[in-house]
Structure 1
Amino acid sequence: MDYSFDNVVPSFRLDGRLVLITGGSGGLASVISRALLAQGADIALIDMNLERTKISAKEVVAWGEETMKSNPISYPTGKLGMVSAWSCNIGDASSVDETFEAINQHHGKIADVLINTAGYAENFPAEEYPAQNAEAIMKVNGLGSFYVSQSFAKPLIKNNLKGSIILIGSMSGTIVNDPQPQCMYNMSKAGVIHLVRSLACEWAKYNIRVNTLSPGYIKTPLTVRVAAHDPELKDNWESKIPMKRMAEPKEFVGSILYLASESASSYTTGHNLVVDGGYECW
């Protein structure tokens, strides 16, 4: 057996690879995109609001330029990957197809990592949940996860290329959060987790790995605002977490890099990686 350094120690470098990140102007995407850029990737940020996404892209590039100056040894190629911004409704299959094709053409390569952070939650008692809202959240969280995976995979399959799909699920896909009533969000994320297992089985023959990253409560700008408005709710959430705190977005970078790496997670597919501070243990 070959026990050389390169064969034993996994690399998290992504030089020359193109990563698609949906929900690209969100709090989780903000830190993930910086980490991926530092690992050498080209990045396409995708979200509904193009102007906000363009701002996010500029901020990521500015961060990369500054860190490259202060940490040149961490940028072995001496240059940053390309960062682009795109508008897309992931609940619309044709919009996804058109956008993903345009991204590949713009970057001059086929994307081989997809990170789907797009999605949302809302609270209604189950007996009062409006049908229109129920259909809308399932279209984005559920069908949207399928549409982006399908559009991402098709050119990889056609060109016999490997790929990694990382769909953001939630601990809400396996447990019922308390006290917020969010049955349709829970249902949509449970669907994402099983979609991943299904795609992993179908696409293993194409060397496309498909996994879920399921976070617990994250300290994003949205949850910070919610917690400031309702401190009792924040205390309720954190009292049920063994670590007694919400996660910082940066605490998911390691999981993303692991799932994106061809050497670190080459035998990992169909897995639901739960990162929740131990919430599901109680």
Structure 2
Amino acid sequence: MADLSYENIVPSFRLDGRLAIVTGGSGGLASVVSRALMAKGAEIALVDMNLERTKKAAQELEQWGQEVLKGRADAPVIGAVSAWSCNIGSFEDVEQVFTNINEKHDKIADLLINSAGYCENYAAEEYPSMNAEQLMRVNSLGAFYVAQMFARPLIANNKPGSIILIGSMSGTVVNDPQPQCIYNMAKAGVIHLTRSLACEWAKYNIRVNTLSPGYILTPLTRNVISGHSEMKDAWESKIPMNRMAESKEFVGSILYLASDTASSYTTGHNLVVDGGYECW
């Protein structure tokens, strides 16, 4: 008879003993996600371009852990936090920083959340070539570089892991009214990169998935729509739920994909969380 014990059939979302690398670590989404990872017991390495801003994010995360988690029965472990500067569009940067992270934490990172990236709006016929090349380098090649350098030590040491590449609904739909063809192309590439890596690395027990959000009310997005109510109205009119998302609404998806028990058979998947945007 199959094992019907509680422990065998009810997934655990605890991440005790695991080391999570979070790129785009000083951003709005990473700020919320990193707190959830800490609450579940993970050690966290925040990675971003600006070291000063990333250190500040790490300090705020540690302070949050001490103020909010300490003493809670459901958060018995508060993991270590570190901050790193890295241009993920540079393989050399990624190689050095990811090696240093594992050495600093004295363990091999087994959870990667790649939220680093950016968007630009140019009409396709006017898109500057240098801008296009740089965006593709960060958003597409950068996703590959961080996945590659994350996976290498896991493969060498026969350890499992989970990679969550933050994509976008822009990888499967064309946003309106803003023109952003290069960003859309980059995110479409991330989704197919996920499928490719998932197939190649399944034999190493490394799961690779994409989380593709819709419009999120991060501080950056709030700045973009500030004073441009017509943009916000245009976006929300295309969302069946008639609103943009809060960052916290992606935590459940991240924890699901991170969990070795909840998503043990999930790999190569593009999980779209967009309030129903793609349905219309």
Give, in whole Å, the separation in 2 of the partners of 1:27 and 1:68. Answer: 20
User: Which shows bigger deviation, 138-147 or 60-69?
Assistant: 60-69
Match of 2:267 among 264, 269, 274: 269
Q: 5 Å matches for 1:198-217?
A: 198-217=196-215
Question: What is the CA distance between 1:229 and its match in structure 2?
Answer: 2.1
Give, in whole Å, the separation in 2 of the partners of 1:208 and 1:46. Answer: 21
Q: 5 Å matches for 1:56-205?
A: 56-69=57-70, 72-77=72-77, 80-205=78-203
Give, in whole Å, the separation in 1 of the partners of 2:194 and 2:17. Answer: 26
Give, in whole Å, the separation in 2 of the partners of 1:40 and 1:138. Answer: 34
Question: What is the CA distance between 1:268 and its match in structure 2?
Answer: 0.2
Query: Could you list the runs of 5+ residues in structure 1 that have no partner in the other structure?
Result: none
1:9 alignment partner in structure 2 = 10
Question: What is the CA distance between 1:158 and its match in structure 2?
Answer: 0.1
Question: What is the CA distance between 1:227 and its match in structure 2?
Answer: 1.6
1:31 alignment partner in structure 2 = 32
Letter in 1 for 2:26: S
Give, in whole Å, the separation in 1 of the partners of 2:61 and 2:272. Answer: 27
TM-score (norm. length: structure 2) = 0.99
Question: What is the CA distance between 1:76 and its match in structure 2?
Answer: 2.5
**What does the per-residue CA deviation read over 1:145-199, in whole Å, with 9 as the maximum and x for residues that have no partner?**
0000000000000000000000000000000000000000000000000000000
Give, in whole Å, the separation in 2 of the partners of 1:52 and 1:132. Answer: 26
Letter in 2 for 1:128: E
Q: Between Structure 1 and Structure 2, how many residues are aligned?
A: 279
Query: Could you list the runs of 5+ residues in structure 2 that have no partner in the other structure?
Result: none
1:252 alignment partner in structure 2 = 250
2:53 alignment partner in structure 1 = 52
Give, in whole Å, the separation in 2 of the partners of 1:206 and 1:115. Answer: 19
Question: What is the CA distance between 1:225 and its match in structure 2?
Answer: 1.3
Question: What is the CA distance between 1:47 and its match in structure 2?
Answer: 0.2
2:236 alignment partner in structure 1 = 238
**What does the per-residue CA deviation read over 1:189-236, in whole Å, with 9 as the maximum and x for residues that have no partner?**
000000000000000000000000000000001111122221000000
SS in 2 for 1:19: strand
Give, in whole Å, the separation in 2 of the partners of 1:137 and 1:201. Answer: 26
CA RMSD, Structure 1 to Structure 2 (Å): 0.7
User: Which shows bigger deviation, 225-234 or 118-127?
Assistant: 225-234
Give, in whole Å, the separation in 1 of the partners of 2:72 and 2:269. Answer: 35
Letter in 2 for 1:119: G
Letter in 1 for 2:74: S
Question: What is the CA distance between 1:6 and its match in structure 2?
Answer: 0.5
TM-score (norm. length: structure 1) = 0.98
SS in 2 for 1:180: coil
Give, in whole Å, the separation in 1 of the partners of 2:227 and 2:149. Answer: 39
Letter in 2 for 1:243: M
Q: Write out the 4+ residue segments of structure 1 that deviate beyond 6 Å after TM superposition.
A: none
Give, in whole Å, the separation in 2 of the partners of 1:121 and 1:148. Answer: 19
Question: What is the CA distance between 1:67 and its match in structure 2?
Answer: 1.0
Give, in whole Å, the separation in 2 of the partners of 1:161 and 1:232. Answer: 49
Give, in whole Å, the separation in 1 of the partners of 2:86 and 2:192. Answer: 24
